[in-house]
Structure 1
Amino acid sequence: MNNNVAMNSCKEEEQEDRVPLAETSLLNKLIQSSLVESHHHVEILQRDPRSPLFSVKVFEELHLKKELLQGIYTMGFNRPSKIQETALPMMLADPPQNLIAQSQSGTGKTAAFVLAMLSRVHPEGRFPQCLCLSPTYELAMQTGHVVEKMGRFCVHVKVAYAVRGNRIPRGTVIEEQIIIGTPGTVLDWCFKMKLLDMNKMQVFVLDEADVMIDKQNFSDQSVRIQRALPPTCQMLLFSATFAEPVLQFAQQIIPDPNIITLRREELTLHNLRQYYFECENNEAKYKALCNVYGSITIGQAIIFCQTRKNAKWLSWAMSSDGHQVALLSGELTVEERAEVIQKFRDGKDKVLITTNVCARGIDVMQVTIVVNFSLPTNMDHFADFETYLHRIGRAGRFGKKGLAFNMVEKHNLPLLLAIQDYFKTTIKRLDPEDMEALEKIAE
């Protein structure tokens, strides 16, 4: 196959494929059908250090209403996740305690704060009692769906959505006990239309705080809403990241909190074998890739490109050669991306070509091979160690053995050496023409 023309016209773009934080968060919610095992140690800073710490291993220890337990088990939660073990006893304590918590997407934090809201609601009270802020319409709807599923047996507890498009006439009496909404619309409901009596709120949840402060004006609007709440209202804030701006915002909005943060456990690459091919250009990379594809029995593979243009070209080249591949990039809508990932999870596509939009959070048991068609670099063109780790970490999940192949141009060998030094590991060189050696790798 002669793809020189296509390759020469397909030079690397300087700008990587990037997607907004809110889209990444929504994508993780859409694709997480089950809890992800967290690879973090939970660290707790208590408001009152003298108070005993509790954690739970089964939901029965929380002494929940039977209809809530029924809802939890119907959703498929058999036991509390790591964040739930520690956070739920704090959130359900009497008297209520405020909480700032860090948690990855997919670890069960939405279910945790939803459980807290449903536990605090008095069903006989036909007025708003719990308020949850999400940064976007789509994230608000996802949270609302969790409330509806978990609370399906709480027949007298209802949810209302304070989001764009849900026009409520002035003077309407809102009887739903749980309000899920975005800051701008909730602000209108509170102050312009006076639909919510903030003095009656029992629980205030601010979800996706890192996404919230990434959106213009949302942090100011959230602070205005929080200040209208009574001192007795329990306040819960969740964020996937705890960079300094997030911490400052969290401490501004949540008084006297308990704080749960995550310290990453030492990640090892002992179950991953790493190799590299020295390739002159994209044509040589593509040939090496085809040799790997032809020599090794692949369960499923993910191929990472640094740019959107490179990913589109590679998808075209492999499809033209008769390979069935799926393409995942930031120009797809969130729903389209979720559909591509789900098809890959279901085994309908064996090879997924993607940019860094897919480097985190996607755990597919059948993935045995990861290919870095381009080594990950940061904006200064130095090796991006964290992205490299997350990329190759897609193989060898769940304790299985995995293979990682790196396609490296001669001038990029220093990047590979930097990655080796950083992770104190060995990445062995392979000859892409040595089919016998490739076949031995798979044994």
Structure 2
Amino acid sequence: MAALEKQGIDTPTEVQQAVLPQAHKDLQVCAETGSGKTLAYLLPMLQQLLTQPAPNTATRALILVPTRELARQVYKDCKAFTDMNTLEVGVLTGGEEFKYQAAMLRKNPEVLVATTGRLVDHLKRETVDLSDLEFLVLDEADRMLDMGFAEDMDLILQRSRTQRRTYLLSATLHHQGVQRIAGSWLIDADEITTQSVQDAHGFIRQQRILADDNAHKDRLLVWLLANESYDKAIVFVNRRDEVDRLADFLRQHRDGVAALHGDMTQDERNYVLQQVRLGKRNILVATDVAARGLDVEGMDLVVNYDLARKGDEYVHRIGRTGRAGRHGLAIALIAAHEWNLKATIERYQQQTLEPRTIEGLKAKYQGPKKVKSSGKVAGKKKKPAGKKSPYGQKKGTGKKSASKTTSKSSSPQRKPKAAGNLMDGDGFAPIKRKK
């Protein structure tokens, strides 16, 4: 309670109100990013460790996370409480020396925050003991499965104490792998859902701007960073080499640009995030390594330079802003090859991105041509009478052909044949067949 008061927290969030009364049993929790999920499982876990001391045991609580950044964030949140009592917390992530981590483990911290791969490395070296585990938390289990850690997670389960409490937190409870884990790892678990990722982010305004190519995206990005109002901004790209290129390009136009990707050492990544949190850098160019676990106050603007490859990753990206009831702006730069992906993301979150155009930087690409309700492509000219179509049918024009159609069907107009009007999955541009 003293730690909560020190942080200025006096009212539980929606997910905390739902989880705390049920925390005595296994739970499967789905809630939006920035909703307070971390404290929802930390508070009941730490409370039991305090009220039921067990000084001669190994690690009593394990929190598994997918990324180093999320591990550091959870460790920081947990340490804010353990600093106020006798409990100890440790963190295991890649990018750090084994010998230092082994020394930390010998101090036998009650709580351990770890990334999956590094924890498995320590299990194989027999430097960590999970036989006394009372709590197992899988934070963002869907992401760990997507990263290919299913076998590692099974190994961790085999080394863990059977009688324990398990909390599974996931952005997508319908994820097939998550359901498999829930069925084998959890016992009589309650499902708690406060808001799925498909629900609209009420505090985030989502826009899309069409672009012709990366050169055009570069110009759009420079304009946005110069003209939008924000305290801090994050720019997401899909490739690590593109992070470095884009960061170098932006430094020619603006100060305070930092880069973050998976090829950097852990010390470099920690330094970059610290610089952003302190406000010494206010523009971060990053891969999806920053999409989860990055909670930076004042992150008002998110720009998807490259569109996320999956709907849930898009949701986690834009979730870096609009956190804890604050308003944010998320802008996606859409090239021609990303249009269908944009449509997929819109269907995933059941929300349409607001179209926007910047004066003087309007793209030549304006999206695929839409289809009229009759099924014909807008603007398509009719062929002269007597000429054959590419499909071997003669087409006529005028009243004569219209009367033939009416005589064969009670409907005023015959539907076009599927062969002549093949559409893509979103009902847009026709796919032309060769003769």
TM-score bracket for the superposition, by shorter chain length: 0.5 to 0.7
Structure 1 residue corresponding to 2:134, chosen from 187, 203, 208: 203
Tell me what 1:222 maps to. 156
Q: Is the 8 A contact 1:184 1:221 kept in 2?
A: no
Kindly provide the amino acid, as one letter, of the partner of residue 331 in structure 2. A
User: Following TM superposition, by how much is the alpha carbon of 1:90 offset from its aligned partner in structure 2, in angstroms?
Assistant: 2.1
Instruction: Work out the CA distance in 1 between the residues paired with 2:268 and 2:256.
Output: 18
Structure 2 residue corresponding to 1:249, chosen from 152, 175, 181: 181
The correspondence of residues 276-425 of structure 1 with structure 2, limited to 5 A, is 276-279=209-212, 281-294=213-226, 299-321=231-253, 323-360=255-292, 362=294, 366-374=298-306, 376=307, 378=309, 384-388=310-314, 390-391=316-317, 398-400=325-327, 402=329, 404=331, 406=333, 408=335, 423-425=351-353
- Structure 1 residues 330 and 71, CA, compared in 2 at 3 Å: closer, same or farther? same
Kindly provide the amino acid, as one letter, of the partner of residue 5 in structure 2. Y
In the alignment, does 2:84 pair up with 1:150?
A: no
Give TM-score scaled by structure 1 length.
Answer: 0.57
Tell me what 2:418 maps to. none
Instruction: Work out the CA distance in 2 between the residues paired with 1:290 and 1:159.
Output: 43
Identical residues among aligned pairs (%): 22
Higher relative contact order (CA 8 A, sep 6+): 1
Instruction: Work out the CA distance in 2 between the residues paired with 1:244 and 1:105.
Output: 21
Kindly provide the amino acid, as one letter, of the partner of residue 185 in structure 2. I
The correspondence of residues 36-55 of structure 1 with structure 2, limited to 5 A, is none
Q: Is the 8 A contact 1:88 1:116 kept in 2?
A: yes
Q: Is the 8 A contact 1:272 1:401 kept in 2?
A: yes
CA offsets 1:168-207 (integer angstroms, 9 cap, x no match): 9xxxxx9979364846756987xx99x88x6xx5833243
Instruction: Work out the CA distance in 2 between the residues paired with 1:177 and 1:308.
Output: 35
Kindly provide the amino acid, as one letter, of the partner of residue 199 in structure 2. E
Tell me what 1:120 maps to. 48
User: Following TM superposition, by how much is the alpha carbon of 1:99 offset from its aligned partner in structure 2, in angstroms?
Assistant: 3.3
CA offsets 1:262-292 (integer angstroms, 9 cap, x no match): 541631578637352543x433433344444
Instruction: Work out the CA distance in 2 between the residues paired with 1:218 and 1:301.
Output: 35
Structure 2 residue corresponding to 1:432, chosen from 357, 360, 380: 360
SS state at 1:238 partner: strand
SS state at 2:135 partner: strand
Instruction: Work out the CA distance in 2 between the residues paired with 1:240 and 1:406.
Output: 28
Instruction: Work out the CA distance in 2 between the residues paired with 1:161 and 1:433.
Output: 47
Tell me what 1:80 maps to. 12
Instruction: Work out the CA distance in 2 between the residues paired with 1:123 and 1:132.
Output: 13
SS state at 1:259 partner: strand
Instruction: Work out the CA distance in 1 between the residues paired with 2:75 and 2:330.
Output: 40
User: Following TM superposition, by how much is the alpha carbon of 1:313 offset from its aligned partner in structure 2, in angstroms?
Assistant: 1.8
User: Following TM superposition, by how much is the alpha carbon of 1:221 offset from its aligned partner in structure 2, in angstroms?
Assistant: 3.1
The correspondence of residues 86-165 of structure 1 with structure 2, limited to 5 A, is 86-92=18-24, 97-102=25-30, 107-121=35-49, 126-128=55-57, 131-135=60-64, 149-155=80-86, 165=99
User: Following TM superposition, by how much is the alpha carbon of 1:363 offset from its aligned partner in structure 2, in angstroms?
Assistant: 5.5
Instruction: Work out the CA distance in 2 between the residues paired with 1:258 and 1:86.
Output: 11
Tell me what 2:190 maps to. 258
SS state at 1:313 partner: helix
Tell me what 2:427 maps to. none
Tell me what 1:272 maps to. 205
The correspondence of residues 5-44 of structure 1 with structure 2, limited to 5 A, is none
- Structure 1 residues 361 and 349, CA, compared in 2 at 3 Å: closer, same or farther? same
- Structure 1 residues 298 and 263, CA, compared in 2 at 3 Å: closer, same or farther? closer
- Structure 1 residues 342 and 426, CA, compared in 2 at 3 Å: closer, same or farther? same
- Structure 1 residues 268 and 133, CA, compared in 2 at 3 Å: closer, same or farther? closer
- Structure 1 residues 132 and 125, CA, compared in 2 at 3 Å: closer, same or farther? closer
- Structure 1 residues 175 and 102, CA, compared in 2 at 3 Å: closer, same or farther? same
CA offsets 1:145-186 (integer angstroms, 9 cap, x no match): 76664244544x667999964669xxxxx9979364846756
Q: Is the 8 A contact 1:127 1:176 kept in 2?
A: no
Q: Is the 8 A contact 2:3 2:84 kept in 1?
A: yes
Give TM-score scaled by structure 2 length.
Answer: 0.58
Structure 1: which 5+ runs fail to align? Answer: 1-68, 169-173, 379-383, 435-443
Q: Is the 8 A contact 2:138 2:167 kept in 1?
A: yes
CA offsets 1:20-54 (integer angstroms, 9 cap, x no match): xxxxxxxxxxxxxxxxxxxxxxxxxxxxxxxxxxx
> 355-364 or 132-141: which moved more?
132-141
Q: Is the 8 A contact 1:140 1:180 kept in 2?
A: no
SS state at 1:339 partner: helix
What RMSD over aligned residues (CA atoms) do the two structures have, in Å? 4.7
User: Following TM superposition, by how much is the alpha carbon of 1:75 offset from its aligned partner in structure 2, in angstroms?
Assistant: 5.1
